[in-house]
Structure 1
Amino acid sequence: MPPTDAPVDVAVIGGGVIGLACALALAAEDRRVLLVERDRIGAGASSGNAGAFAYADILPLARPGILWRAPHWLLDPLGPLSVRPRSLPALAPWLARFALASRRACQPALIAAQAALLRLSAKALPWIADLAGARGLMRNDGQLQLYEGRRAWEAALPEWEARRAEGMAFEVLKGADAIAELQPGLSPRFTHAGFVPDWPSVSDPMTLLEAMAAAFRGRGGRIETEDVTTLAPTASGGVELGCASGRRIQALQAVLAAGAWSADLARQAGEAVPLAAERGYNTTFSADAFDLRCQLTFPDHGFVVSRAGGLRVGGAVELASPDAPADMRRARVLVDKARRFLPALRAESGREWMGCRPSLPDSLPVICRASRIPALVLAFGHGHLGLTQAPATARIVADLLGGRPPETDITPYSASRFRSLT
């Protein structure tokens, strides 16, 4: 018979920022927590993100007008949005839901749900940073979204008005000179900008993950390398994790936070969720490659420039299997654009990276109990906002497993919202 461990209080599946935040929050409540990761801590999207806590990013990727732009992007294999042809059949449920979510009638509810989760995350960030001993890694430099010409700015105005309606503060900058006062060194082609002053960031996402892992271990938590392949309820109402090694792990409760690799396990727990691997690319240069004063976002080009473990140029959306080979040409296209937009950029000897963001078609994560295994909480699908929403997700998961009502209504994040088309 395969070996079976003595039961733990909570087993957390996934060593990205969501899994680590949940494990740390539960360990802080004196729970015996085991975190299992198939690869290594931060091996997915969590270590290579832009390092921002993007509280103003309340707009879903699926929004009115996006489908008119998508065909043009999809024809360019190196454009800001691409789908690998071999992946199209598997992505059909995701694409159908994406089309539905982009309808104008869906936008108010999606924006309200995203804004509520981001507000909770802003409230919970000091708490999780203190648990990790990571306050010293945090800064608040703001974010600058840049537009080329009046027409591009006016096209973006509804998005900025939606942020204003949700109480998000920002400043409008008009003219290259006004922009240069805040961020010198940009091409004068950028004539309009929105500046979000409340845009915290972390100096290096991987350093934050390591601090969280150390704090978790310091509270008695265990981190082990296992590829969890099966989930099942136990006779006593807990959860059994079956591993590729043959090991079986018994837990009174469990959290599924395996990022882009969560869908198969969620299905075993009764939830067929249209999860896609939204692959992002970046290149990280030395910190002195450019005098960056705040995060720069180029929304019409699908990438950002940030200070995250150096000077990081990254973004784009590629929908493909998480195991498909990386196409590093996509990272190089972004660097070429950055050279044009930041003429003084010294883009030399960069480190290229690709990671799979766990993306759901309406841009909201799944945070709920599994219907078939009530002792299991699902916590995945955060897309571009994993780092940003990790504090809120950890707070909600800790409340659910502790028998407490969450601080915000979690109905919009239920996996049941996908049942009609799956």
Structure 2
Amino acid sequence: MNQPSAPRPSSPHVGIVGGGIVGIAAAACLAEAGFSVTVFDRTGICEETSSGNAGAFAFSDVLPLAQKGMMRHLPRWLADPLGPLSIPPAYLPTLLPWLWRFWRAGAPSRYEAALSAQAALMQLAEREWAGLMQRSGTLPMLREEGSLELYESEAEFRAALPGWAARDRFGITYRHVEGAELAGLQPGLSPRFVKATFVPGWKTVADPKLLGKALWAHAERLGARFENGLVEGVETVGEGPAILLRGGERRAFSKVLIAAGAWSHRLAAGLGDRIPLETERGYNTTLPPGAFDVRRQIVFPAHGFVITPLDTGLRIGGAVELAGLERPPNHARSKALLAKAQRFLPGLDPRGGREWMGFRPSLPDSVPVIGRSARSPDVFYAFGHGHLGLTQAAATARLVRGLAEEQSLPIDLAPFSPQRF
């Protein structure tokens, strides 16, 4: 396999804040392009939110969250503290401005712009992941069994049809199934599920943490370096941007990328960009391999969670808890999802699971921030991907590389502007 050459000593040096999948993919793409790259993270490479996600390349998931019917379900979901969406009452006053923006993002007048932006990013993501996995030697970690979205009633299925019709415009392949075909796609389901939608192009990975670390190994081979450290700010005085580490150390770079997930908006605020990012805390339990023969990722839209077969186990998780960064985890939510999975998959062995909670960085319109800071053309942002960080990481990395090289970009960045708020 041909590898791009390592950076020359005189190459522009890019500092990346964040060792999650977006930062890792950007490091790999920049290193391939000949940049010197240093990644900073407080824990390690792919050790936080990117380590425990559902492992999907959800390229067909183009509908913004505000347009998925969440507002319709909101009163019922909020009535259940362990349901698909939870907001601790004490956090609600803090959250209200974000919820107002989220409600406005669901307006029909905003639907088309958000849908088109997500579809363009997804199409780029599918192309870029194919190339990046080929170059990094990670293609054996790709799984292409598709996904199965399940419905418990005819009414639930009918309510989902407009969303599938919207996907028709972008050439997304799917088919609705029931009866014997549904049973063949996933044996052992509870009979409560009467219909489903099979998406053959949906992909998953062997394990998201293992993929992130393998992609980082590729970046390291090209000269990228990692430094453990807590970044407290980014400044733009002087000839170029600098990363400020806890303890007072100042590290100057040619360019800086902020890709710190749910913590990114705090750094952006120091640069004059007020970005309304909120934290969707996601929960899961990973059972040992063999807990149940799940053939492909299965999705329970009315319950807000998925089950993914990974090489390292069976991951059951999802749902949304809007509760910020400071509150302790509420693993009763993990247990509630596991209990539902036992009802939906009779015969599931629930023993030996590992519980986990991660912070999804979510913007009200479900469209990530990708672009330059207001204060400096040499400071870039790449965050706010919500549930789709893994899916959109390679596309985001390609766009960051284009910004760093000051070249034309494959898609219009205007919908992703950090200043759109």
Q: Give the TM-score range, shorter chain.
A: over 0.9
**How has the CA–CA distance of structure 1 residues 188 and 92 changed in structure 2, closer, same or farther, with 3 Å as cutoff?**
same
**How has the CA–CA distance of structure 1 residues 65 and 172 changed in structure 2, closer, same or farther, with 3 Å as cutoff?**
closer
How do residues 57-76 of structure 1 correspond to structure 2 at under 5 angstroms? 57-63=61-67, 65-76=69-80
Selected match of 1:272 from 264, 271, 274 = 274
Selected match of 2:168 from 164, 170, 185 = 164
8 A contact 1:7–1:251 mirrored in 2: no
Selected match of 1:18 from 2, 22, 29 = 22
The one-character-per-residue Cα deviations of 1:390-421 (angstroms, maximum 9, x if unpaired) are 01000000001011111011111011211xxx
Counterpart in the other structure of 2:263 = 261
Secondary structure at the residue paired with 2:56? coil
* Structure 1 Cα separation of the partners of residues 149 and 391 of structure 2: 18
The farther-off stretch of 84-93 and 397-406 is 84-93
8 A contact 1:50–1:307 mirrored in 2: no
Shift of 1:130: 2.6
Gaps of 5+ in 2: 1-9
Shift of 1:76: 1.6
8 A contact 1:186–1:343 mirrored in 2: yes
Counterpart in the other structure of 2:390 = 387
How do residues 36-115 of structure 1 correspond to structure 2 at under 5 angstroms? 36-63=40-67, 65-115=69-119
8 A contact 1:64–1:104 mirrored in 2: no
**1:410 is aligned to 2:413:** yes
Count of matched residue pairs: 411
8 A contact 2:11–2:34 mirrored in 1: no
The farther-off stretch of 222-231 and 129-138 is 129-138
Shift of 1:321: 1.6
Amino acid of the residue matched to residue 302 of structure 2?
Answer: D
Counterpart in the other structure of 1:3 = none
The farther-off stretch of 210-219 and 398-407 is 210-219
* Structure 2 Cα separation of the partners of residues 191 and 75 of structure 1: 26
Counterpart in the other structure of 1:217 = 220
* Structure 2 Cα separation of the partners of residues 219 and 253 of structure 1: 18
Selected match of 2:374 from 349, 371, 374 = 371
Shift of 1:7: 10
Selected match of 1:30 from 30, 34, 38 = 34
8 A contact 2:308–2:315 mirrored in 1: yes
8 A contact 1:364–1:413 mirrored in 2: yes
* Structure 1 Cα separation of the partners of residues 58 and 155 of structure 2: 25
8 A contact 1:37–1:227 mirrored in 2: yes
Secondary structure at the residue paired with 1:355? strand
RMSD: 1.4
Secondary structure at the residue paired with 2:254? strand
Amino acid of the residue matched to residue 90 of structure 2?
Answer: R
Secondary structure at the residue paired with 2:182? helix
8 A contact 1:7–1:249 mirrored in 2: no
Amino acid of the residue matched to residue 248 of structure 1?
Answer: R
Amino acid of the residue matched to residue 331 of structure 1?
Answer: S
Shift of 1:307: 1.5
* Structure 2 Cα separation of the partners of residues 66 and 211 of structure 1: 36
Secondary structure at the residue paired with 1:416? coil
The farther-off stretch of 201-210 and 69-78 is 69-78
**1:286 is aligned to 2:275:** no
Q: What is the TM-score of this pair, normalised by structure 2?
A: 0.95
* Structure 2 Cα separation of the partners of residues 92 and 372 of structure 1: 28
